[in-house]
Structure 1
Amino acid sequence: MLARLKVLATTGAAALVGALLGLGAPAPAEAATPDTIPLKITNNSGLGRPVYLYDLGTSLTTGQQGWADAGGAFHPWPAGGNPPTPAPDASIPGPAAGQSTTIRIPKFSGRIYFSYGQKLVFKLTTGGLVQPAVQNPSDPNRDIQFNWSEFTYDNSGLWLNSTQVDMFSVPYAVGVQRADGSTVSTGHLKSGGYNGVFSALRAQSGGWGGLIQTRSDGTVLRALSPGHGLETGALPAGVLDDYVNRVWQKYATATLTVTPFADQPGTRYYGRVSGNVMNFTNASGAVVTSFQKPDADSILGCHKLLDAPNDQVRGPISRTLCAGFNRSTLLVNPNQPDTSTAGFYQDPVTNHYARIIHERMADSKAYAFPFDDVGDHESLVHDSAPQQGYLTLDPLS
C-alpha cells in the first residue's frame, strides 16, 4: 500500500515496523542481528518467463531511501526530478521455474518486488521513489504481472508478510527459519484458490467483479483492492452506507466497548453516537476521541475519517473500528475486537474482497485491508533471531 511506504522517510526501527506492518513496537533484542541475512526465493509458479527481483526501501543504518543488490549492499537513490526521471536498474535476476535463488537482505524496511516476463518501471521524483500504482490506467507497470512482500529487518529480527492491501495478484508465500532450525510460513492459497478468488469476485453482485484487471490478450493480471475500486469507479461510493447507517443507529442507544490491547484487558473505551459523531469515553467518563460517520473510502483504506495516528488512544480505537467495519462485526458484537472469525463477513454488506481472499488462504490469514492484523488474522512471519527468510512464488491456479 502506497501510504505504508511513506514510513520510509522515518529512521526509527520501531516506528517503521509499526507503520509498515501494523505492529506495535518490537521488543529489544538481547544481541544485534547480523548485518544481512539470506532470503531464498523459490519459483513454483510453473511459468516459463524470466523473474526479476527488487529489494527497495529505507536503510535502517543511514535512513536513506534506496535499493539493495543481491549481496545485500545498499545503494541510495540519486536525486529525482520533476517530471520524474528513470531510476537506476535495481533488478536482480530471479530463479527459473522450479529453481531457487538466494539473495541477502540488509537492515532494511521496505518491499521485495517480483515480476514475470518484464522488468518493472521505477522513477524518481524530488520526493523519492515513485511506486507502481496500477489503479492508474496509464501506469507503465499495469500490464506486467507482479507483486511484492513488505518486510522490516532490524536488530529485533525479521518481519515478513504477504499482502493484498493494494491488490490480489500473482500468488506467493513467505517464511522464516528460526534459530532452532524450524520454519514457519504463511500466504499459501488453497488448491484452486488463485482462480477461485477471481471467480468469486465476478459472482459477487454490486460491482466487485469490476476490481479485476486483465490484459488485452485476456490474461488476468490482478484484482484491485476495494479502496482502489472506489478510485476507478468499479465500486459505488456508497457501497458500505447501509451497514454504516445501521451501526450508527444501533450505538445511538447502545454502547460499543473497545478493548484495543490484548495484553491490557483493563484498558477500555466506550463509544456512543450523538448526531453524526461517535464519542469514546474512558473509565472516568471523559471523552478521549470522536469519529464522524465514516464513508466507504475511510473504512476500506482505514484512513481519513478513520485516521489512526501512532498514539495510545485514537489510533488503537480507530484500528479496531476499521477492522470491525471491514469484517462487519460491529452489529453482532458490541465488544470489539472480535477474538474469533465466526462472525466475520456474515453481513450482506461487507468487504467482500477481504472475505473472498481469507476464505481461500490455506491458513485463513491475509492482509486484505490495512489493519487486518487486529486480532492476529494477518499473513505475517516474525522471528527475533532469523537464520533465513523465504519467498515462494506459487502456481497461478
Structure 2
Amino acid sequence: MLGRLKVLATTGATALVGALLGLGAPARAEAAVPDTIPLEVTNNSARGEQLYLYDIGTFLATGQQGWADANGVFHPWPAGGNPPTPAPDASIPGPAAGQSATIRIPKFSGRIYFSYGRKLDFRLTTGGLVQPAVQNPSDPNHDILFNWSEYTLNDAGLWLNSTQVDMFSVPYSVGVRRADGSTVSTGRLKPGGYRAVFDALRAQPGGWGGLIQTRSDGTVLRALSPGHGMENGALPGSVMDDYVNRVWQKYAGTTLTVTPFGDQPGTRYYGRVSGGVMNFTDASGAVLTSFQKPDADSVFGCHKLLDAPNDAVRGPISRTLCAAFNRSTLLVNPDQPDATAANFYQDSVTNHYARIIHDRMADSKAYAFAFDDVGNQESLVHDGDPQRAHLTLDPLDQQPS
C-alpha cells in the first residue's frame, strides 16, 4: 500500500524545478536574496472548506529534507520507518474564501501544497518523505481535493511554477513582484477553463476520459497525467505506437537535426534510424548517443527509453525528443525543437492531456509534461531579486458533471 507511493529521497520534491530551473539561473543575483521572502496566498476558490497549506522540500543551506512553518522557519523531518511512519503535522491554516494570508518561504527546493477540507497524510520512510501519489487508489490522499506548486528559492532568485506534470486539479496561478514594483504571473485558466479541461478529456476518444478521478460524493478530484493513467489502465500502453512507428519510418530515410541550446545555434546533433535504433552523430559523423524506439510510458514520462541525464549531449537531445513526441511535431519538422506553437498537437496521435490543458490556459503556458519548458512553453515565473511571491487559488467554475 504505502510502499507503492512515491518517495522523496533527495531534492525530488522539485526534480522538475531543481534540475531544469537551475540551468537558467544567473551566476549571481543582482541583489542579495534574503533568507526568506513573503508568499501571499489568496483564496479565490469560492469553496467554504478549511484550507491547509504546506511548504515542504530540501533546505538548500544544509541539504536536509523538512518543512517550513508560516514564519519560514525550517524543521527537519525526523527519521522514518518501514512501514512508513506518520510525519509531523506540517500544515499551516490557510485563508478563508475571499481572504488572503501571507507566509514566509525559505531557501528551499520544494513544493507548496494546498488542500481543501482535510489535511494531507504525509509519511516518512527510511529513505525520506512519502509524497502523495494518487494514481494509487490506496493512497490515503486519494479522496482529498488538493494540488501543489513547485519552487526553488536560492541566492540567484526565485523560480516558481504551476504544474500539471502529475495531475490536473484545483486551479491556481503563481506570480512574483519585482524590485521595480511590477508583477509577472502565470498559470491562470481561461474563464470556464477548469470545467472545459474535464469536458474535453471526456470527449476525446481512446480512453482519455478515464484519466478523471471522482469522489463518491460526485466531486471531481483531478485528471491524472497520461503516464499515471497508464499505470491504472485508463490508457492502453499502445496509445502512442502509431505515431512513434511513423517517426521511426520517416527518420530511416531523413535526418533529424536537433539544436538543443537556444544560445548555442552552432551545437547540432544529427539523428538517423538504422537497425531500429536512432543514432545521433556530430558534424564529423561520430555516434554520440543512441535511442531505442520509445514506448508511450517513455514519451509521457520523459524517462526510461528517453532518459535525460544531466550531461551535455544525451540529456539535451532527449529533452528535445521528449517535447517533440508529446507535441507530435517530428513528422512536420525535421529541425527540432520546433518553435512554432501552431504545429503542436496537430496529429491525431498526441498527448491530448497536454494539448487540452495548454489550450485552456489564459497565456497558453503549462507544465503538462516534464520537459514542457523546451521552447519556453512552461508556466514559470522567475526573478533574481524577488520582493514577494503570490499564489492565487482560483475558482473551480461549476464542477464538471
Q: TM-score, normalised by structure 2?
A: 0.95
State whether residues 6 and 133 of structure 2, in contact with CA within 8 Å, keep that contact through their aligned partners in structure 1: no
Kindly tell me the number of residue pairs found equivalent between the two proteins.
Answer: 393
CA 1:116 to 1:302, structure 2 compared with 1: closer, same or farther past 3 Å? Answer: same
State whether residues 365 and 379 of structure 1, in contact with CA within 8 Å, keep that contact through their aligned partners in structure 2: yes
The match for 1:360 is: 360
State whether residues 16 and 152 of structure 1, in contact with CA within 8 Å, keep that contact through their aligned partners in structure 2: no
**Matched position secondary structure for 1:213:** strand
2:62 and 2:250 mapped to 1: Cα distance? 50
1:90 and 1:322 mapped to 2: Cα distance? 36
Deviates more, 1:68-77 or 1:28-37: 28-37
Correspondence 1:85-96 to 2 at 5 A? 85-96=85-96
CA 1:141 to 1:18, structure 2 compared with 1: closer, same or farther past 3 Å? Answer: closer
The match for 2:97 is: 97
AA aligned to 1:92 is I
1:32 and 1:277 mapped to 2: Cα distance? 49
**Matched position secondary structure for 2:119:** coil
2:224 and 2:23 mapped to 1: Cα distance? 24
Corresponding position: 1:307 with 2:312? no
2:9 and 2:375 mapped to 1: Cα distance? 25
The match for 1:133 is: 133
The match for 2:380 is: 380
State whether residues 113 and 148 of structure 1, in contact with CA within 8 Å, keep that contact through their aligned partners in structure 2: yes
The match for 1:213 is: 213
The match for 1:114 is: 114
**Matched position secondary structure for 1:342:** helix
Gaps of 5+ in 2: none
The match for 2:283 is: 283
**Displacement of 1:284:** 1.2
The match for 1:8 is: 11
CA RMSD of aligned residues (A): 1.7
**Matched position secondary structure for 2:136:** coil
State whether residues 281 and 287 of structure 1, in contact with CA within 8 Å, keep that contact through their aligned partners in structure 2: yes
State whether residues 281 and 288 of structure 1, in contact with CA within 8 Å, keep that contact through their aligned partners in structure 2: yes
The match for 1:68 is: 68
**Matched position secondary structure for 2:221:** strand
1:188 and 1:109 mapped to 2: Cα distance? 23
The match for 2:393 is: 393
The match for 1:36 is: 36
**Matched position secondary structure for 2:70:** coil
**Displacement of 1:27:** 2.8
**Displacement of 1:28:** 2.1
**Displacement of 1:20:** 5.8
CA 1:239 to 1:361, structure 2 compared with 1: closer, same or farther past 3 Å? Answer: same
1:123 and 1:327 mapped to 2: Cα distance? 36
State whether residues 7 and 16 of structure 1, in contact with CA within 8 Å, keep that contact through their aligned partners in structure 2: no
Correspondence 1:323-362 to 2 at 5 A? 323-362=323-362
The match for 1:156 is: 156
The match for 1:292 is: 292
Gaps of 5+ in 1: none
**Matched position secondary structure for 1:32:** coil
Q: 1:357-397: per-residue Cα shift (whole Å, max 9, x none)? A: 00000000000000000000000000000000000000001
Q: 1:292-328: per-residue Cα shift (whole Å, max 9, x none)? A: 0000000000000000000110000000000000000
AA aligned to 1:8 is T
CA 1:307 to 1:18, structure 2 compared with 1: closer, same or farther past 3 Å? Answer: same
Q: 1:325-352: per-residue Cα shift (whole Å, max 9, x none)? A: 0000000000000112010000000000
The match for 1:202 is: 202
CA 1:64 to 1:119, structure 2 compared with 1: closer, same or farther past 3 Å? Answer: same
CA 1:373 to 1:140, structure 2 compared with 1: closer, same or farther past 3 Å? Answer: same
State whether residues 151 and 160 of structure 1, in contact with CA within 8 Å, keep that contact through their aligned partners in structure 2: yes
The match for 1:177 is: 177
State whether residues 161 and 380 of structure 2, in contact with CA within 8 Å, keep that contact through their aligned partners in structure 1: yes
State whether residues 43 and 98 of structure 2, in contact with CA within 8 Å, keep that contact through their aligned partners in structure 1: yes
Percent identity of paired positions between Structure 1 and Structure 2: 82
AA aligned to 2:370 is P
Deviates more, 1:275-284 or 1:300-309: 275-284
Deviates more, 1:240-249 or 1:274-283: 274-283
State whether residues 307 and 318 of structure 2, in contact with CA within 8 Å, keep that contact through their aligned partners in structure 1: yes
- Deviation >3 Å, runs of 4+: 2-7, 15-18, 20-26
Q: TM-score, normalised by structure 1?
A: 0.96
